Amino acid sequence: MTEIPDKLDPALIDRFAAIVGDKYALRDEQDIAPYLIERRGLWHGATSLVLRPGSVDEVSRIMRLATETGTPIVPQSGNTGLVGAQVPDTSGREIILSLSRLNRIREIDVLSNTVTAEAGVILQTLQEAADAADRLFPLSLAAQGSCQIGGNLSSNAGGTGVLAYGNARELCLGVEVVLPTGEVFDDLRKLKKDNTGYDLKNLFVGAEGTLGVITAAVLKLFPKSKGREVAFVGLSSPEAALSLFSLAMDRAGAALTAFELIGKRPYDFTLAHAQGVVRPLVDDWPWYVLMQISSGRSSEDSRALIEDVLSAGLEHEFVGDAVIAASLGQGDAFWNFRELLPEAQKPEGASIKHDISVPVAMIPRFIAEAAGAVASVSAGARVVCFGHMGDGNLHYNISRPVDGDDEAFLALYHPMNKAVHDVVRSLHGSISAEHGIGQLKRDELIATAPPMAIDLMRRVKAAFDPAGIMNPGKVI
Amino acid sequence: MTEIPDKLDPALIDRFAAIVGDKYALRDEQDIAPYLIERRGLWHGATSLVLRPGSVDEVSRIMRLATETGTPIVPQSGNTGLVGAQVPDTSGREIILSLSRLNRIREIDVLSNTVTAEAGVILQTLQEAADAADRLFPLSLAAQGSCQIGGNLSSNAGGTGVLAYGNARELCLGVEVVLPTGEVFDDLRKLKKDNTGYDLKNLFVGAEGTLGVITAAVLKLFPKSKGREVAFVGLSSPEAALSLFSLAMDRAGAALTAFELIGKRPYDFTLAHAQGVVRPLVDDWPWYVLMQISSGRSSEDSRALIEDVLSAGLEHEFVGDAVIAASLGQGDAFWNFRELLPEAQKPEGASIKHDISVPVAMIPRFIAEAAGAVASVSAGARVVCFGHMGDGNLHYNISRPVDGDDEAFLALYHPMNKAVHDVVRSLHGSISAEHGIGQLKRDELIATAPPMAIDLMRRVKAAFDPAGIMNPGKVI
């Protein structure tokens, strides 16, 4: 292993800067600041240098020099990650490698239904380019206006499109990766079937930049839907929501494109704190579901499908009440309501958040058992539960007691995490369904995952990054 | 690395046999024979011992002893693989580890839509168990009556269900693997979303038993279709087939559950040689397509969809002629016709086969260019082209010239492979779309894949199987 220097030597900074040119080698504190600030304010890293290469070749030369000099590199794209994977440590000796200038959509192949995009392409830009080619790129998440494809793949992003189309991993057919040594691994294939050896692609996807730097990828496109209907549903219990989900899967199958569970508390918080939202349902319900059905055929078809599901749900008494959006505008308003849930929690004071998944059938049991676990840590703590129920994934957030103190509540961070995650583990779930590990959950992963899994991951890390310069201290 | 003995010592055989008991330790040549014969007759391996463990613990103890004594192990399930991955070498020093007694379906979870099955469960048994639980397990291939889940996963099996449901990898949510050391890696999760570190599961899937022994897996289930329509279509060209495919994807989307291309020659061979088949279309066409549309709603719905696709295809002149199966029986007859294609090639003499994929849009170009490449190797050779066009995957087989000599033709095996695969590579395709590498394509993979890919695969192999006892000489 190469000796890693304690600080970045000015002469070394010059050598790195020469690769990209002075304009794209940021050394000034003010220029660097935006790359260090992440939106939750949980990590405060430091660096002396942000490199903004303009080509794969420049990335390759950066990594070659990094290997030669034992310089740790932190790849970063849109800087919207929620677990600190894109943030350097506080030593100042790690260089941020920003992929944002690699922002070319290299090709859209409408017949093969693929798009080849570089790591720095903003997700929303890619969605729009697909749309302009009469195709759908279904990855969709709150940060889509600023997150970038490289980060989406490195974190195996989820979001609201997973139910019907899969997560970032399932949308990716091929990758181009610069290895720690600077070698370029070109695996940009458009193939649906390829059984020629080990699945290397899926090692890089979700590795959070710890095995190499993803510089481009081939992603799947889909036919655009011709009809979309959104309904807001009131229900009596998570069990009713699970029954409705089963029913909707049975009736609509792949046309069921969203099934988002919303607890009464986040619903009420949003009505109380979010600007310009309209109450979706007249009556109050203990639970709500935002359900979307998309049809590849016509708007009449999606309308008939959602009416069929909801009327069967009412008949079986899974559904308490339901409103189908009367217009595209109302549908967007329902989605807007859903997307404001996290923000609307803020005025209620400090919160402790979880991003968990369990087998879909275990959702009601998780909700019941986790409530008890939370109460045992903080009697008045308020569960704010919502998420992608169809994927078994809940954002299980806890707000402090109404009259509680923020700091005192945040001091419960670790016991609260443990209490919730213990329930997750007892149900064979995941403590990070879609946000990843990064810095946030690394210690917990190492402490609680099967030792065999940690051992195998360490072997992979050592095999791909023997010098340990790729995003050190993240994941494993 | 442990020293590997040249022959299996009788005392060592006794030690292995003691783990499973004499009844399940086959030493007799006649008992062993079925485990050595594969159906194409391409490989003639040898072994002194076939072990048939009855539990994961026995597999674990076998692998522990194998590591301790440096004994190479060849895992085998249904023994239907087409690339020799399940066949030992000729030294007699490799032990076959048969998974066929691990044949328990551990659980079907209809709410989570998962099944947990052991490696030795026969694919058709699993399909039937899913059906009995009112669910669909969509993996479907010619060998389903005898192939087993362990082999399906280890080879990342494809087949006719890939278009709508994905290959074995995409159907697998979690695995249980016995590592070369005998340690059990329990990753039997039912989660749709889990971002807790590197994707180890997908390393074992498709590794052909070279990294560990898959002993069980969690697999996805789907709602059963309520309507299914099969059509046999006559077309003028591969370009017309591609246009029809695009049209069908656009109109039917996820309801398009099969799109199989069939050339005139395999069609004619089947009419000439297969028993009891009926001519699907009255007129002859240069190309045919077997198209299937399934509906989760009703049989009327699938009927309306397929009629819509075909009438639009006729209107745009992509479709020359088409027959929709008038009954389930006729639909099965169309499928039967499709499945008899490989067998019907045999009476035409020696053949050289390929299992290739290219981006879907490149299928017509591949067919045009490969025809020239084949003719340049053997002027009278007859192309027998059919396959899963919707996946970009063709079984591009070549029969000897009508009056040619079998042996003389088979002597062209390597130049013919090279000619066809050079076209595949020029189109960024795969030389093994669904059958894998095994022994058959190992040398070619190593010689022609990007050196970087081979290097990374070797690092993975060394990291997981440092002693090199897991299915040596396969894949890499």
Distance CA B211, CA B349 (A): 38
For A430-458, the pLDDT digits (tens) are: 999 999 999 999 999 999 999 999 999 99
Q: Which two tokens stand for residue A464?
A: 């791909």
Q: For chain B, give the percent of residues with pLDDT over 70.
A: 99
Which residues lie below 8 Å from residue B107, measured CB to CB, with a gap of 6+? B114, B115, B116
- φ, ψ of residue A256 to 5 degrees: the values are -75, 105
Distance CA A214, CA A431 (A): 25
Q: For chain A, give the percent of residues with pLDDT over 70.
A: 99
SS3 track for A111-141? CCCEEEEECCCEHHHHHHHHHHCCEECCCEC
Average pLDDT taken over every residue of chain A: 96
- Which chain B residues are closer than 8 Å to A186 by Cβ? 450, 452
Contact B193, A433 (CB under 8 A): yes
CB atoms within 10 A of CB A429: 25
- If pLDDT is split at 50, 70 and 90, which confidence band does A6 have? low
Exposure class string for B371-404: b at 16+ Cβ within 10 A, else e: eebbeebbeebbbbbbbbbbbbbbbbbbbbeeeb
Chain B, nearest residue to A224 by Cα: B250
Q: How many residues does chain B have?
A: 476
Question: Is the pLDDT reported for residue B6 higher than 70?
Answer: no
Contact A66, A58 (CB under 8 A): no
**Closest CB to A359 among B183, B190, B197:** B190
In this prediction, residue B60 carries a pLDDT of: 98
Distance CA B196, CA A277 (A): 35
Question: Is the pLDDT reported for residue B129 higher than 60?
Answer: yes
Distance CA A211, CA A154 (A): 10
Q: How many residues does chain A have?
A: 476
Average pLDDT on B274-285 reads 95
Distance CA A210, CA A461 (A): 7
Instruction: Compute CA distances A177 → A71, A187, A229, whole Å.
Output: 19, 8, 39
3-state secondary structure of A373: helix
**Closest CB to A186 among B193, B242, B450:** B450
In this prediction, residue A255 carries a pLDDT of: 93
Q: Which two tokens stand for residue B74?
A: 């060849």
Strand partners, A383: A398
Question: Is the pLDDT reported for residue B141 higher than 50?
Answer: yes
User: Residue B199 class from Cβ within 10 Å (0-12 exposed, 13-18 middle, 19+ buried)?
Assistant: buried
For A209-218, the pLDDT digits (tens) are: 999 999 999 9
Q: Which two tokens stand for residue A82?
A: 């929620």
In this prediction, residue B1 carries a pLDDT of: 43
- Which chain B residues are closer than 8 Å to A215 by Cβ? none
For A185-225, the pLDDT digits (tens) are: 999 999 999 999 999 999 999 999 999 999 999 999 999 99
Distance CA A112, CA A115 (A): 9
Are B456 and A441 within 8 A, CB to CB?
Answer: no
> Kindly report the CA angle at B288 between B282 and B293, in degrees rounded to 5?
100
3-state secondary structure of B457: helix
CB atoms within 10 A of CB A376: 12
Q: Which two tokens stand for residue A362?
A: 């275990």
Question: Is the pLDDT reported for residue A37 higher than 90?
Answer: no
Contact A185, B185 (CB under 8 A): no
- If pLDDT is split at 50, 70 and 90, which confidence band does B39 have? confident
3-state secondary structure of B106: strand
- If pLDDT is split at 50, 70 and 90, which confidence band does A79 have? very high
- With a threshold of 0.90, does the pTM exceed it? yes
Strand partners, B394: B356, B387
Helix, strand, coil % in chain B, rounded to nearest 5: 40, 20, 40
Distance CA B393, CA B118 (A): 29
In this prediction, residue B2 carries a pLDDT of: 46
Average pLDDT on A386-409 reads 96
Residue A4 DSSP class: P
Q: Which two tokens stand for residue A348?
A: 């209620």
- If pLDDT is split at 50, 70 and 90, which confidence band does A39 have? confident
Chain A, nearest residue to B441 by Cα: A196
The dihedral built from the CA positions of residue B45, B50, B55 and B59, taken in this order, carries a sign that is negative
Chain A, nearest residue to B202 by Cα: A199
Average pLDDT on B56-65 reads 98
Are A392 and B358 within 8 A, CB to CB?
Answer: no
3-state secondary structure of B174: strand
Contact B191, A429 (CB under 8 A): yes
- Which chain A residues are closer than 8 Å to B307 by Cβ? none
Contact A334, A385 (CB under 8 A): no
Strand partners, B290: B232, B260
In this prediction, residue B278 carries a pLDDT of: 92
In this prediction, residue B42 carries a pLDDT of: 84
CB atoms within 10 A of CB B433: 29
In this prediction, residue A2 carries a pLDDT of: 46
CA trace torsion B203, B204, B208, B214 (10° rounding): 180
Helices (H) then strands (E): counts for chain A: 17, 19
- A to B CB pairs, distance under 8 Å: 255
Average pLDDT taken over every residue of chain B: 96
**Closest CB to B242 among A111, A431, A463:** A111
Instruction: Compute CA distances B466 → A29, B89, B204, whole Å.
Output: 47, 20, 16
**Closest CB to B253 among A155, A296, A393:** A296
In this prediction, residue B7 carries a pLDDT of: 74
- Which chain A residues are closer than 8 Å to B461 by Cβ? 198
Among candidates B92, B83, B90, which has minimal Cα distance to B13?
A: B92
- Which chain A residues are closer than 8 Å to B250 by Cβ? 223, 296
Average pLDDT on B402-428 reads 97
